[in-house]
Structure formats: C-alpha cells, structure tokens
Amino acid sequence: MMGRRIRRLIAVLLCIASIIILVVPSGKSYASTIVGDYEMDGSTLVKYNGKDDIITLPNTVQTIGKDAFSGNDQLVKVTMPDSVRTIDFAAFEDCTSLMQVVIPESVRVIGSSAFSGCEQLQYVNIPSKCEQIGSAAFAKCLKLTSLNVSPANSSYVCVDGVLYTSDGRKLVQYLAGRTKSSYNMPSGTESIEEYAFWGAPLLTDISLSPRLKEIPEYAFANCSGLNNVVIPYNVESLMAYSFSDCYNLKNVTVPDSVGYIDEKAFYLTADVTVNYYDSDKAREKAETSGVLNESFSDYVAGVSDDNTGIYDTNDSHIVASADEKEYINSLPYVSSMTPDYSDNKIPGELASAKIVGGEAMLLMPRDVRVRGFDPGVAESEDGVPYEYSLGSMDDSFIILNGTAAEYNGDEQNVSIPQGVKRIGNRVFYKESSISSVTLPMGLESIGDFAFARASLETVSIPEGVKEIGYAAFYNCEGLKEVSIPSSVERIELGAFDGTEWLSAVTTNSGTDFITVGNGILLKYTGNGGSVKVPDGIKVIAPGSFQGNTGITDVFLPDGVTTVGEDAFNGCSGLRDVSLPGTVTDIEDRAFKDCSLKNVIIPASVAHIGLGAFERQENDDGAGDAVIFTGGVLPSVSYKNTATRLSAASLRTMPFAGYKNAIIGSDVSIDDRSILSPSQFGFRGQVYTMTGSDTEAGGTLKLIQADSEADPETGQAVIDPHVTVNGEPYIMTGVSESAFDPYLNVYDWSDKRIDSVVISGNTSPELDSALDKVNVGLKGQSMPDKVKPSEDGSVYIRVNMDESISPDKDEPHASITGESGSYHMVVTGSDEATVAGMAALASRYGITDGIICVPLNISLYDDRTGLPLRRLSGRKVDMELPIPTELTMQENIMVAALDDNGMINEISSEIVNHGGNDKLRFVASHFSTYIFYSGIRQEEILSEESMAANTQSVVIRTLNRNVGIMSVKWYIAVILLSMAAILILYKGKSRT
C-alpha cells in the first residue's frame, strides 16, 4: 500500500513538472495580448489586424515585429511614436498602398525587407540615430526616388537616389524609383548589399566601382533594362542569382582572373554571353591613369542638392567607373579557351532555395515579393537547423567515409585528423584564417578547389598522396612553400595557378622543364622551337605547354603515359608531335588548335578526350588523315570540365576538323570505339590501305562513311582524295557496308541529310552502294526538335526503372530557358544504396527505422551522348513516381549526396498528376539522390539541444511546413508517459 502511494505521489509530481515545462516560455517570451487592432507581445507589435488607411502606432511599441503589417493593401500612411527602436524583418513588406512613413528619431534598426514591395511608397525619412539598415529594406519600391536621410546621421547618406554607408564604401540600396537610366558608381565603393539593385526597371547602363570584390546574391536580379555589363577587374566572384531574371541582358564581360561564377548567377537570364578580358592590363591602366583617386566626398561634391532630397549628377566629377569601362571595352578578349576556374556551386547543393524570412525561395520572378537576409534564420538550411545537418564531428572536421568533408574551425595552423584519405572538394575554399596545414599520413588525394583562395602559406604533401585535384590550390596568392612527394601521379588543371610558389619555380628554376612528383612535367618555360622532353617524364601535366606559339615540333620520350587536359592547347606553331608507344591517355583539348599535319595514334592509346586534336577546317588540310596503328581502336573520354550544361564549347569531337581516318585491314569498328557513328568521336571517312608506293602515294578502300551534310544543300560530300604522311592517296574500293550509317542517320546526326555524293571518279560498285543509301535516305524523316513550350521549358525524356516504381504514369522533367534535346536515366544500384545509407547514418546518427531508396539520376545530352552533371544556372523541375517502398509513408524527404558524400536536403512536395502521387523537386545537378522516410524529429536533436529546451525542428516542403514541434513538448510527453506508467502499475498481487 505504501509503495502504491509513493508511485502515485511521484506520478502527480511528474504531471505537475510537465505542466510547468509547457507553461514556462522558451527563451525570451511574453504573454501575447490584444490591444484594440494590435496584437502585442510585451513591447513588440506582433500583428496589426485593423483596416484603417492612416494609423499612428501606440506609444508602448518598441519593436515592430517580423511581418507585422506584411501584405496589408489598405494602409496608406504610418506614423510611429518615439518609443519605437526597431522595425524588424519584412515589417511592412508588400504594403502596396503605403505612400508615406514617418520614422521617429528613436529608431536604431530598419530590418531586411522592412518596406520591400511597397510599390506606392514615396516618402521615407531616415532619422539621425538609425545605425543599421538591412538588405532589400526598400527593394521594389517603384515610386521611391530618394530617402530623406537626416544630415546628422553618421551611418548613412542618400545621393542621387542611392543609399550608401556614410563613408561610401558600401552601396546599400539603389532605389527602384530612380528616374535616370544610367548610373556611375563612385570609385570608392567597395561592396554592394544583397538585393541592392533588385527590380530597378529604368536602369539600362551601369559602370561599377573598380574596388568591388564581389557581386553578391540577387544584387542585380530582375533589372529588366540591363543590356551589357562590364565587371571590374578586382571582382573575384559572381554569387547566386546576382544577375537572375535580367531578361534583356545579352553580354557580361568579366576579368579573366575571376575565381567564382556561381551556377545560378544568371538564373532565368536566357541567351547571355560571358566574355573575358585581361584583368592585369586593366589594373595597370587604372593605376596609372589616376581614375582611382576620387574619394567619396569628391563624388558627393559633384552632385547638387535641389532641396527635395533628389540629386542631379554632374558627370564631369564621376569619371572613374566610366573611364574604366571605356578602356576595359578597348582591351582584347581573352580566348574562350582560357582555363575556366569558375568553380561553380558545390555539386549537391541542389535546391535553388535560400531560406529568407522563413521561406524557401525557389525562384525570383518579377511578380513575387522580395525577401532580404534575415539573421534570425541565417543558421538554417531549408528549415533544418544547421547545427544538426553536419553529421559526425571530429574536432573541427566532419569526417565521412574517410573524406574530410567539411571544416568548421578557425585555427591558423590546421592539423587534419589521422585516418583521412581524401580532402574533400572546397573544404578550405576561401579560408582566410589558415596559414599552414598538416596533412596526415595515409592521405591519398586532395579534392577540387580544396584550398582554393585560402590564405595558406606553406603545405607539405605527404608521401602516399597520388592525386591533386582540379584547381586544388588555385589563387592561394600567399602560398610560398610547396613540397610534392614522388607518390603523386596526377595533378589536375590549374592546381597551383595563381600561387607565389608556382611563379617562383617557373622563374627561378634554371631549367625549361619543371618536374614534380612521379615524373610529372608540371610546366614548360622555354621559348619553343624543337622541344625534346627529358627522359623519365611519365605525365605531361594539364596546361603545361598551353599557348606557347613558338613550339614547332615535340618529341615525347618512352615512358610517357598521359598527355593532360589542355597540355598543348593553342600551340598554333606545332606541326609535328612524336607520341611514344607508351601513351595510354590523351585528354581533352590536349592538342587543340595546333597545326598538326601527321596525327599518328599509337596502338597503346586507350582513351582520347573531347577536342583532343580539334582544329579549324581549312582547304590546306582538308585531305589530311588520322592514322590508327593499333589492332583495337581507343574510346572517347571526357573530363568534368565538359559536364556543365554551359560548357557546350568544350563538348567537341576529338578529331573535329579532320575528315579522314586510316585503320588496319583487320581492325573492327565496334559500338564503343572512337570511330563508331554512335560515339561522339569522329565524322568522316574511314579507310584501309590497299596499296602504296612511297613516292607516288597509294590506294584506299572505304570502310565506313558518316560525314555530315552541308546545312544549305543537304548533301554529304565525300572527297576520295586523302593525304597520308604527306603523300596523296585515292579511294579505289568500297565496302558493301560503308554507307550503312546513313540508313539510320538521325541516330547520330542532328543535321538534315538528303543525299550522299562523291566528288570524283565513280565505279559501278560505288554507284550501286550510293543508290542503296540515297533511296534509304528518302524514306527517313528528320525527327522534330525538342522545342520550348509556352513557358520556355524543354521537356526531358525520362527512363525510370520500373522495378523502382510500377507507376504507369510517366515521370516528368523539364528545363527552363534552354534549347536542345536531353534524356534522363533513373536507376538503383548497390553502390548508391551503400553511399546513401552511410550519408544518412552520418547525418542523423542512426539508420534504424529509416526507409531509404537511393537512386542514381543522370542527365544526358542527346547530341553527344555525354552526361551533364551541373546545369550552370538552369534548373530541372522533376516529378518522379514515389518509389514502391515509400508509397505508404508520410513526410517523405528528398536529398542528394554532394562530392564529399554529405547529405544536402532539398525542398520537395507531393503532387497528384494523372491520378498518381509524385514527388516534385527542383534539381541543379545530377548525382545520387536519396528518398527516405522514418526520421523521427527527436532523433534530429542532440542531447545538448534538448537540455537547452529552445530548439525546434522544421521539415519544409516547396510550399508548406509539414512538421514542427518544440523540444519541450517531447520532454513533457516523456514525463506524462512515465506518470501514466506509475499510475497504471499494479505490482504483484498478494495471496
């Protein structure tokens, strides 16, 4: 009996404790009260529920809360009392009738998006004590031509319809109501706020400050009048959506030193062309011309105040940016083949969503509201608290499957933990605190852009590392000491470009051949002529000879296995190269734009990259041939640089510009070889030699023809005259199957072909073969091209494995603002399952109870058959049938794995089209996706956060929240459950 009383007493106490936990507010909280039309939380005005058009706020209000008046279309004028100190995030957003706001001297802070979208707003005063104005505070205020900033305000100044910080270093807001079409930014401006120019409809011409380092997110989004923009030479990055939805923007000229152009920088801006100019020449001219000497006070002195708050520009005083634009436009553009270190957005960051104001903004079209940066949710990514999306931690690192996937420290001398085998992509990108790094023994590779633009000064790469990735140390300007061990076998393009170390070794080495690692020729510094590469070299590194026009011939020694990406690209004087019988790989653009007459491919070559021997077609070389000496033909390879949607110029055939190929009589052309019509490798005639005379040339037999037609005549013309090793040969025989590729011509060509003709002597045998193929061509019709629909999207054919979902309604995918023809393949694999479950375990710490369907989703270009992994600012809108294992589940989540194997949650929703439920999400790159359910929200939270009792978990879809619960409810439920158990427990019965 006593035990039962004690149990009941404890149960009552647990119930009381749970009630107290629920009643006690989390963090700072006050009782919400209704005062007239105002909903108040202490001194914070939470919501206005009235309908008056002119109001004066109560004198008890100190903070106008987030979204307090948002969307009120009746409000015309607001007067605030002297008690107000803060106008919070989006407080008056989209008050479309609001014309006048009187802000008292007491206001210190005007939050982001505070008045964005107030299209009728004409008068706003900025008081003297206001010291903080957030991003997009006055964006899309189409009638606001100026801000009346108090002369006593020490933080801000409005000049000529543009709000700056008082020193002129930051441009905060270009007012959308500014009536002038051109704007010359003062040369003292060093940064631009996000959304600064958003939706300025009249702006057509702009000159930017040469001191800018970055074009931030949404800076010029929806500036519909912009046509041409020149980016100053100091700018290092163009961030996401910086020029999105500028539908008249045709040309953007950027410095060749720009280190980062986000994939989404030109999102929804169709047909924009990005050109490059020589940043060093521009910088030199700016420094010597004196255009940088103008101070902000000089700029302000160049405008006159007409006492209305609107300024007129005196153009004679604003010369820096305009002059800079003039001389930049006069500089020659850098070749389009300049190595591209745009270092596009991290693959795996799939959603275009940025959480702003608590919403996932997937698009930024002209008819939606503008949401600035809200510090209150800055730590969140798609509604999931940032600190809970990191996976397992090892001090300052996230270690995932042996990869250092993320670094979160701020140490000057960094030691990477033992056991790490790979430094992931971009782990230390732009890390400004690091000066040295200690790499662990056992490390095998360093990822793409791993340390790019970091402040690293020294690095010693340990023995055992085999690969240094693309642009791994790119533009580490202070990097002076580098130690590369003999184990390194590959160094990708641009790995050390822009470093002091590379500059020093190429200048002071005392040799023309800079070698590192395991026989890698990193750089050739000689003048050219006849070049004999030293013995012992195994790899000609990417870009090592690039652009050296003085080279006439090159002899590579036995032992060379790889000729790297862009190795001899642009060596226009190179006419002869000796490839040894040890070469296995010739990578993308290795000999592009050279003047090679004899291209002899050794039998050892297994792979030849895109554009490897591409040249411009000309009459002098029309009859030249490529000679394959092996019994097995190589296959086509490609580098990751070619897998961006925007990199069409890099997706060219290995032998573009050559019409003829010679193979041995016993060589077969299988479907995987470089000469197969089904491969994107070669278009022309393939011959075997039937007779030769070293003095007079010889005769050839045509084995295969797949020349494409002249677009005007529709004729594919075959010239039977071929040059082999400088000697003339002529076609005298033809295989019965030589013209068979034309019987299925539209499987490999996207050009109209009406007939095949021979420009020379014929024979009965040849005429018979031509008649057969020309009759066959008449029976074929050119397939319709995939044309954009009315909404500007291109439909993508999707092949989804029926074993994943038996849904009879086809999956759907479309891409906006793009032309061409594409197909998508969705499959499962054991590798995807292992990677997906490992990522989930790292993300949540558990896998029990999780139902997970990992899928490999790949997009292919129909023209080339090549995969497209990054969409360069475009988006694919996808609707996939729900995998069978998840059809009965709720709260299905979608995520993708990035390059480092980490999960990136993306926004998704369930839609019903055609009577079937589907998962809809937006993708910007293609890799392994995981679709999963069974995550209980308490498993997302750490014990520390539960103790804090202040966190909440949000799972966000494209349009709505599907789950939110405060931690204190979990604790209360647990306590109540324990109380119920104690009350119901009866103990052992007594006899």
DSSP string, 280-325: HHHHHHHHHHTTT---HHHHHHTEEE-SSS-EEE-GGG--HHHHHH
CA distance 957 to 333: 44
Partner residues linked to 733 by β-bridges: 701
Please, is 82 exposed, middle or buried when counting C-beta atoms within 10 Å of its C-beta (0-12, 13-18, 19+)?
exposed
What percent of the chain has pLDDT above 70? 81
pLDDT digits (tens, 9 = 90+) for 270-280: 778 888 887 77
CA distance 170 to 883: 50
Backbone angles phi, psi at 6, to 5 degrees: -65, -40
Q: What is the C-alpha R_g of the chain?
A: 33
Confidence grade of residue 550 (pLDDT, cut at 50, 70, 90): very high
Predicted local confidence at residue 581, as pLDDT? 96
Mean pLDDT along residues 99-127: 93
Predicted local confidence at residue 870, as pLDDT? 82
**Which of these ranges, 300-314, 333-347, 691-705, has the smallest mean pLDDT?**
333-347
Whether the Cβ atoms of residue 139 and residue 113 lie closer than 8 Å to each other: yes
Confidence grade of residue 372 (pLDDT, cut at 50, 70, 90): low
Residue holding tokens 């459950």? 977
Whether the Cβ atoms of residue 538 and residue 516 lie closer than 8 Å to each other: no
pLDDT at 384 over 60: no
Whole-Å CA distances, 449 to 142, 439, 583: 41, 16, 28
CA count, 13 A, side-chain hemisphere, 524: 27
**Strand, coil or helix: what is 267?**
coil
pLDDT digits (tens, 9 = 90+) for 706-765: 998 888 888 999 889 998 888 899 998 899 899 999 988 888 888 888 889 888 777 787
Task: Look at strands 539-540 and 551-555 and give their pairing.
Answer: unpaired
CA distance 37 to 967: 32
Whole-Å CA distances, 883 to 171, 458, 837, 903: 49, 50, 16, 19
pLDDT at 776 over 50: yes
**Strand, coil or helix: what is 491?**
strand
Predicted local confidence at residue 946, as pLDDT? 32
pLDDT at 612 over 90: yes
Of 99, 154, 100, 148, the closest CA to residue 130 belongs to: 154
DSSP-assigned states of every residue in 934-983:
---HHHHS-HHHHHHT--EEEEE-SS-EEEEEEHHHHHHHHHHHHHHHHH
Backbone angles phi, psi at 810, to 5 degrees: -65, 145
Predicted local confidence at residue 527, as pLDDT? 87
Predicted local confidence at residue 564, as pLDDT? 97
Predicted local confidence at residue 618, as pLDDT? 57
Token output for 778:
């008449």
Predicted local confidence at residue 175, as pLDDT? 95
Helix axes of 2-23 and 967-984: crossing angle, nearest 10 degrees: 160
In angstroms, how far is CA 915 from the centroid of its own chain? 35
* Maximum pairwise Cα distance, the chain: 120
**N residues, the chain:** 991
Q: What angle do CA 922, 928, 934 make, to 5 degrees?
A: 80
pTM: 0.62
Rounded mean pLDDT of the chain? Answer: 80
**Strand, coil or helix: what is 60?**
coil
> How much of the chain is in helix, strand and coil states, percent to nearest 5?
15, 30, 55
Confidence grade of residue 299 (pLDDT, cut at 50, 70, 90): confident
Strands (E), 525-612: 529-532, 539-540, 551-555, 562-563, 576-578, 585-586, 599-601, 607-609
Of 352, 368, 369, the closest CA to residue 907 belongs to: 352
Task: Look at strands 191-192 and 214-215 and give their pairing.
Answer: unpaired
pLDDT digits (tens, 9 = 90+) for 443-495: 999 999 999 999 999 999 999 999 999 999 998 999 999 999 999 999 999 99
Q: What angle do CA 377, 378, 383 make, to 5 degrees?
A: 55
CA distance 507 to 969: 67
